[in-house]
Structure formats: C-alpha cells, structure tokens
C-alpha cells in the first residue's frame, strides 16, 4: 500500500533529509516539532507542521503517545523516526502498529532484541557470526575479575542496554576493574534503566567497520557496502568513510556475508547497520551490535552506490519490497563524511549553542552538505550538538581527501564554536591521509597534537 502522508518524528538535518526524499516521491509530509523548532528549515519544507510541546525533549520528541497521537490526528498513514530520540524504542514501533500507522523501521520485537547487546550477541552466535571473545552478564566486580583472568587483560566492560559509550570502560588490571565496575553499572542504570554489564576482550589495534543493510522482513536482505568509522572520540564517531579501504578485499567479502547472514537469520525489516570491530593485527573481524535505524553516516553509502536509502526505507515500509537485488547494487568511488558539531574543540568539546552570524557553505563537484542550519539559525541548547554533515565523493580515497580539505577550507561558519577546525586538522594529518589510524588514534595521538 503506497504511503500517502508521512509523519516525520524528528528534527534537525535528518528531518530535512527525510522530507526531501518524501517530496521527491510525491508523499505529503507532516513534521512534529517542539516549540523551539517551529521556525526551522524543516518546518518550512513540510506540508504541515505540528507543535508537539515545549523545547524539552521529554515533553515533545520523546513522548511516544504524544508523537503517535499527532501522527494519527493529522491523518498520516506512516511515521519515520529518523535516528536518535525514539527511533530505537520498541514502544514506538508497537504503538504505531496498534494505531494502524506504518512504522518506517523494524518490528518492535526486532528492535528490542537488537537493543539488548547480550541478546544481539546471542543472535549473532546462533546465526554463526563471530563475536568478540567475551562473557554474558557479569553481576559483580569479583565475577568480572575472575572472567578477565580467563580472557586476559586488557578487557572492556559494556552496558547490555548501552550506547554512546555510557557504562563502558577499559580495564588493564584487576584493580582498574574493581575501581570502575560499580560506577559503570550505576551509569548504565541511570542512562538506560538497565545496569547489566558484560565483558569483551579489548582489541588493541582496532578499526570500527559496519555494513549497511536493508531487509524486507521475510529473510531477504541486501547490503550497500561497508563504512569505516574509526575516527572516534570517547566512542563517538566524528568522521566516516566508504568503502573501508584499509580492509583487505577477502575480509570485506566475508564482512558483507556475515552482515547479511545475521540479518537474514533475524528476518530483519527495513534499514539497519551491522557493526564490527576489525582487528588489524589478526586481520579478522568480530560482531559488535546492530543499530536498528537509519544511521547518521548513511550518506557515504548513498554516495558510493548512487542509491537513496530513505526512498528504499519508504518502499519497504509500504510493503513494496526492497526493489533491488544484490547484483544490481554497485560500489564506485570513495566518500567521506565529517560531522559538524556545535562544540568547542579547544575547550573540552563543551556545547556551543548560539546564532549563526556568517554562513557560506562549500559547493562544487562531489560536495554535499546535509544540514538544517543556515545564516541566522539559532542553534538551541536543548538537543544533540550536530548541525550538519559535510560529505565529499571522489574517484578514489586520495581525491576524496583532497576535495574534503578544499571544502573544509571554503566553509565559513561564524557564531557558535564548531568542530570544523578539528576536522580540518584530522583530515590534513599524515596518519589520516595514509589511513593508518585505529579507534584509539584520535585520543592517544590526534588530540594531544591539536591546537599546538
């Protein structure tokens, strides 16, 4: 059944991104916004805008009943959650189902399973996909020390319900485990309402790689190649690229097969990302988790395949199937994305809301900017700090790096402090240009040299 009217339950650049594709497909749109976002670019683009509530997320974007009621009351037959906010809450998918609204995403039970890292690891093992050597739930620091003695230090503790690095820490000794275990459990409990922790062997020289998939919910899954998201600070991605050119072709092929195998086994529906840790020394990879939504970094996959992933999401949600076979998806060229955050990288990345007083975005061949920001836009203090994504595409990684350097140099953004200077520093660094980085590179080597 074709989607006629779509409710966009998000804000910022992803709301603009979804609205753009919906308009291209001739789908009428309704955008739910907080009072703080009533005059944004997204609100201008949507056919209709509904004020969900005040600026506080808990009383607007995070209120499931309010969001679904707004979708129902405006006659929408489908809802796209974007990323963040409620996108990975099974209750949103379930409430949409109950209200007779098509949820543009996985089934509630799939989101619930994939959102629990321990349950997702179990699915991966059942599907025959290799996970990082580790444990199930560990209840006490004493149990953690005993498990680490068997795995070997260093180890990393993770929150079963976690994400964004919360409840997560690395321990190189029993004393470090003892010192951080209770704090991490409390942090996980406070952030996710679930304080369960588990342990994995720490991979010393790792790269974060992930495979973009879309499934039809019947076991048919296609992939759109892999991404490399190794440039991270405190487990938060800053720069993403595709393909992962540091991964050998034979490993890349196995990576794709593992992602498809796992999501086919789970009868996965709609867009998802299967994340892996690539062990540089062992030339091998391990499953980490599945993100059951469209990802921030999806544009680099679009740039190397030429496919509109939001359009495919809407097609699958409408029950029209994926519309593509694997042999119809081609990867060409290289794309890199830089996240532009309203943060001060010279002041411990402190949030930097404020009004944009000068704005000149880069343009040119192979340059794309996904953003909701513009001259005069007031970056509010209430939400995630990301205000845009600068994406470039080249015939190979070298050309993409050159274009990214030129685009960053041409980008004028005055008013709030942003991470643009840090991005320019990273992309110009010889280690990045020669692609010899790991997930620890930015914090161990990159940041200590930044600003000096």
Helix, coil or strand: residue 153: coil
Query: Tokens representing 72?
Result: 């129902």
Q: Can you say whether the dihedral through the CA atoms of 344, 166, 15, 390 is positive or negative?
A: positive
CB atoms within 10 A of CB 47: 15
How far apart, in Å, are the Cα atoms of 366 and each of 21, 91, 347, 363, 402? 19, 39, 32, 8, 11
Q: Which of 201, 207, 293, 397 is catalytic?
A: 293
CB 210 within 8 Å of CB 229: yes
How far apart, in Å, are the Cα atoms of 42 and each of 62, 66, 100, 346? 18, 19, 25, 31
What is the edge-to-edge ordering of all strands in the sheet holding 206-216?
284-291, 269-279, 206-216, 221-233, 236-242, 334-341, 386-394, 367-371
Query: Tokens representing 289?
Result: 């988790």
CB 161 within 8 Å of CB 89: no
Q: Which residues pair with 163 in a beta bridge?
A: none
Query: How far is it, in rounded angstroms, from Cα 355 to Cα 420?
Result: 16
Helix, coil or strand: residue 178: helix
Helix, coil or strand: residue 290: strand
293 counts as catalytic: yes
Contact partners, residue 77, CB within 8 Å, separation at least 6 = 1, 3, 4, 5, 6, 101, 102
Closest CA to 299 of 86, 95, 83: 83
Kind of pairing, strands 378-379 and 354-355?
Answer: antiparallel
User: Where would I find the H helices in 239-357?
Assistant: 249-265, 298-305, 309-317
**Residue numbers annotated as active site:** 293
């Amino acid at each position: 059944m074709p989607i006629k009217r779509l409710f966009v339950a998000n804000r910022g650049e992803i709301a603009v991104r979804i609205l753009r594709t919906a308009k291209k497909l001739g789908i009428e749109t309704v955008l739910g916004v907080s009072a703080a976002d009533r005059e944004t670019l997204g609100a201008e683009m949507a056919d209709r805008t509904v004020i969900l509530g005040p600026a506080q997320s808990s009383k607007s974007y995070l209120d499931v009943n309010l969001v679904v009621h707004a979708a129902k009351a405006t006659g929408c037959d489908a809802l796209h959650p974007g990323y963040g906010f409620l996108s990975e809450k099974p209750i949103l998918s379930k409430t949409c189902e109950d209200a007779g609204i098509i949820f543009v995403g996985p089934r509630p039970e799939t989101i619930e399973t994939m959102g629990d890292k321990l349950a997702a690891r179990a699915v991966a093992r059942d599907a025959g996909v290799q996970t990082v050597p580790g444990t199930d739930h560990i209840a006490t620091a004493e149990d953690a020390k005993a498990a680490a003695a068997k795995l070997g230090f260093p180890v990393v503790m993770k929150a079963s319900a976690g994400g964004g690095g919360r409840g997560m820490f690395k321990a190189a000794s029993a004393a470090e485990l003892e010192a951080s275990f209770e704090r991490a459990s409390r942090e996980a409990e406070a952030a996710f309402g679930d304080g369960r922790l588990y342990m994995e062997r720490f991979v010393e020289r790792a790269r974060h790689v992930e495979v973009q998939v879309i499934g039809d919910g019947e076991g048919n899954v296609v992939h759109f190649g892999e991404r490399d998201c190794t440039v991270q600070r405190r487990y938060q991605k800053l720069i993403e690229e595709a393909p992962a050119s540091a991964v050998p072709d034979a490993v890349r092929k196995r990576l794709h097969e593992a992602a498809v195998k796992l999501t086919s086994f789970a009868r996965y529906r709609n867009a998802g990302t299967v994340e892996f840790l690539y062990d540089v020394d062992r030339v091998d990879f391990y499953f980490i988790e599945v993100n059951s939504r469209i990802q921030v970094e999806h544009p680099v996959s679009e740039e190397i395949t030429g496919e509109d992933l939001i359009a495919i999401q809407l097609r699958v949600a409408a029950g029209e199937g994926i519309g593509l076979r694997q042999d119809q998806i081609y990867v060409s060229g290289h794309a890199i994305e830089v996240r532009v955050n309203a943060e001060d990288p010279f002041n411990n990345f402190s949030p930097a809301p404020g009004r944009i007083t000068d704005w000149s975005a880069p343009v040119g061949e192979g340059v794309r900017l996904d953003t909701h920001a513009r001259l005069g836009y007031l970056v509010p203090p209430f939400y995630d700090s990301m205000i845009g994504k600068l994406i470039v595409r080249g015939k190979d990684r070298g050309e993409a790096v050159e274009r990214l350097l030129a685009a960053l140099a041409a980008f004028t953004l005055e008013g709030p402090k942003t991470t643009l200077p840090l991005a320019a520093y990273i992309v110009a660094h010889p280690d990045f240009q020669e692609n010899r980085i790991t997930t620890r590179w930015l914090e161990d080597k990159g940041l200590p040299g930044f600003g000096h």
